[in-house]
Amino acid sequence: MAVLAAHFHSDAFLVALNHALSTEKEEVMGLCLGQVEPNKIVSIHSVMVLRRSDKRRDRVEISPEQLSAATVEAERLTVLTGRCMQIVGWYHSHPHVTVWPSHVDIRTQANYQMIDECFVGIIFSCFVEDNSDKAGRLLYTCFQSIQSHKNAEYERADIPLHIVPQDTMGKASLEAVIELPRILCQEEQDTYHRIHSLTHLDAVTKIYNGSVFTNNMCNKMTAISNPLMQWLEDRQEYNRKLLLELENEKEKLMRELAILD
């Protein structure tokens, strides 16, 4: 395999996770931005949430235009962070199904690896109940595609995925957090306008469609905004405690310097 492991920075991981949990009706997707280290470790520093033009329960696709936009975003982040950033992978969700990639996922991954052999795929399996206690489970995996020894098809190759804790939230991840609700709302608006523009609909049907759209928007914001706000508040509280510890450490050092003087 071209990649030995993938390191997903925790702030970027939480953005992708919140995106995956934003809907249990269709799959969502995004691109991973980062760099490939000389030791063949893929480091994911940020994610780019992609807007779906076609919502499907069991399929997601990335258009050439989105790949081009992600390349431009990687160049912007290179200037912003001082790191050489590139597209290093993609992620998508599997609501209510197994975490393992389908044959379509494996074929899609193989196509990406023809462009970049270090490209990785990440899947979030969410909204899956454990049969023993009916508790919800969340699983995730990282994979690449390799040529099967049995035939001409490709098969899954598991890549170790490590979540790297971050003391602070990077600016790129903070921007992605802000962008996520906007993209989800835009998807709902696109669906509503596409249906609402049909000329054969009567007034009652249009009123009903409008109420469904409003309900969907409220549910979407509840599902995504509450966890994100809690995350930001937890991060703020952590930063307050860290600042207090640093101030106490500073005072201690100042006292020690005063004694030495």
Residues 182 and 157 in one domain: no
Nearest to 143 by CA among 125, 129, 155: 155
pLDDT of residue 135: 61
Looking at the DSSP assignment, which residues form a beta bridge with residue 48? 31
- Do 186 and 156 fall into the same domain? no
pLDDT at 58: 66
* Residues 142, 95: Cα–Cα separation, whole Å: 16
Do 16 and 70 lie in one domain? The reply is yes
Q: Are residues 148 and 228 in the same domain?
A: no
Q: Give the residue from 142, 146, 183, 176 showing the smallest Cα distance to 159.
A: 142
Can you give the pLDDT at residue 199?
A: 64
Q: How many residues does the chain have?
A: 261
Same domain, 206 and 226: yes
Nearest to 155 by CA among 109, 97, 88, 118: 109
Alpha helices in 82-170 (DSSP H): 103-115
Q: Is 23 helix (H, G, I), strand (E, B) or coil?
A: coil
Residue 254 shares a structural domain with residue 175: yes
Host domain of residue 210: 171-260
- Residues (pLDDT < 70) of the chain are 1, 53-55, 57-58, 130-136, 196-199
**Do 33 and 158 fall within a single domain?**
yes
Please tell me the total count of domains within the chain.
2
Q: Tell which of 95, 130, 164 closes a domain.
A: 164
Q: pTM of the predicted model, to two decimals? A: 0.80
By CB neighbour count within 10 A (0-12 exposed, 13-18 middle, 19+ buried), where does 66 fall? middle
Q: What are the tens digits of pLDDT across the range 140-185?
A: 999 999 988 777 788 999 999 999 998 777 888 888 888 888 888 8
Same domain, 117 and 184: no
Q: What is the pLDDT of residue 203?
A: 76
Question: Final residue of a domain: which of 114, 138, 164?
Answer: 164
Q: What is the CATH number of the domain that holds 87?
A: 3.40.140.10
Are both 205 and 245 inside the same structural domain? yes
Q: What are phi and psi of 191, to 5 degrees?
A: -65, -45
Residue at which a domain ends, from 132, 164, 196? 164
Considering the domain architecture, whether residues 125 and 249 belong to the same structural domain is answered as: no
